[in-house]
């Protein structure tokens, strides 16, 4: 198949679906694909009509990690430079701190660097036959797409060390128990369910949602006092945008009674 189409981008209203399209190698990512993923997510973040991204893979798998056959052949496009936020990572977008949420739709394998890409997403909708794991443990391939950082933060240090040291497979139900998965759905349903969830999120007032999301991400880098100030700065910007007063007016008119989220 043509490597020109190794990343697919589709639109479902306010939802952008970005898919790794290398099913011949379970969507393992080479250097060229990493660059395309990086560029696709930057374009999504810059698109004023896009609110949420769904990140998935074609052919029944999310991503089997780095393309080790290309690595063994000396992939000239593979990036391994030191870098902070917003620089391209070996798997592509995993250092990006986007202003909008990303939901991973996981079918089949999300292992090694593919698991790191799933960890980068804000949420994970997981098919009941999906498998996570640090499978690269077997081959001396390190976690350099923030896996050693995000995994302990997401599921706790002890559970993360279990997975990092053993490289063992983790099924969907254990992933849900750990907090690695947010939703478990039927086989073949992950993308559709993730799109439905993304559409729900896209219906909320976006200025407030994005400010709260970024505050939750930034607090990891800050002291408690700094995090409090950062949260307040973001909240004041939301209020100044008019979105809060508009929402308060809708509430006063009767919208959202008894906890209802729909305005229909």
* pLDDT tens sequence across 86-117: 899 999 999 999 999 999 999 999 999 999 99
Name the pTM for this structure. 0.91
Predicted local confidence at residue 1, as pLDDT: 41
Predicted local confidence at residue 259, as pLDDT: 67
Q: For residue 10, what pLDDT band results from cuts at 50, 70 and 90? A: very high
The mean pLDDT value for 189-212 works out to 97
Spatial strand order of the sheet with 109-111 comes to 109-111, 131-133, 170-171
Q: For residue 264, what pLDDT band results from cuts at 50, 70 and 90? A: low
The 10s digit of each residue's pLDDT in 111-146 is: 999 999 999 999 999 999 999 999 999 999 999 999
Residues 6+ apart with CB under 8 A from 141: 65, 66, 68, 71, 112, 113
């Amino acid at each position: 198949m043509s490597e020109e189409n190794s990343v697919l981008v589709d639109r479902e209203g306010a939802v952008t679906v970005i898919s790794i399209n290398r099913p011949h190698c379970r969507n393992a990512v080479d250097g060229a694909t990493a660059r395309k993923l990086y560029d696709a997510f930057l374009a999504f973040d810059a698109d004023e009509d896009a609110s949420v991204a769904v990140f998935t893979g074609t052919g029944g798998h999310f991503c089997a990690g780095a393309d080790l056959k290309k690595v063994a052949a000396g992939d000239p496009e593979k990036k391994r430079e030191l870098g902070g936020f917003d620089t391209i990572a070996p798997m592509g977008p995993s250092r990006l701190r986007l202003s909008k949420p990303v939901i991973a739709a996981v079918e089949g394998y999300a292992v090694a660097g593919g698991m790191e890409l799933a960890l980068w997403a804000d949420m994970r909708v997981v098919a009941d036959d999906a498998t996570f794991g640090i499978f690269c443990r077997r081959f001396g391939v390190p976690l350099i797409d923030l896996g050693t950082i995000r995994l302990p933060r997401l599921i706790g240090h002890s559970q993360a060390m279990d997975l990092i040291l053993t490289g063992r497979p983790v099924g969907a139900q254990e992933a849900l128990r750990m907090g690695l998965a947010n939703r478990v759905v039927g086989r073949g349903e992950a993308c559709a369910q993730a799109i439905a969830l993304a559409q729900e999120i896209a219906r909320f007032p976006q200025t407030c949602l994005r400010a709260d999301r970024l505050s939750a991400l930034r607090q990891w880098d800050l002291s408690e006092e700094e995090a409090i100030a950062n949260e307040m700065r973001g909240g004041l910007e939301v209020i100044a945008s008019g979105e809060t007063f508009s929402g308060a007016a809708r509430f006063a008119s009767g919208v959202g009674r008894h906890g209802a989220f729909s305005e229909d």
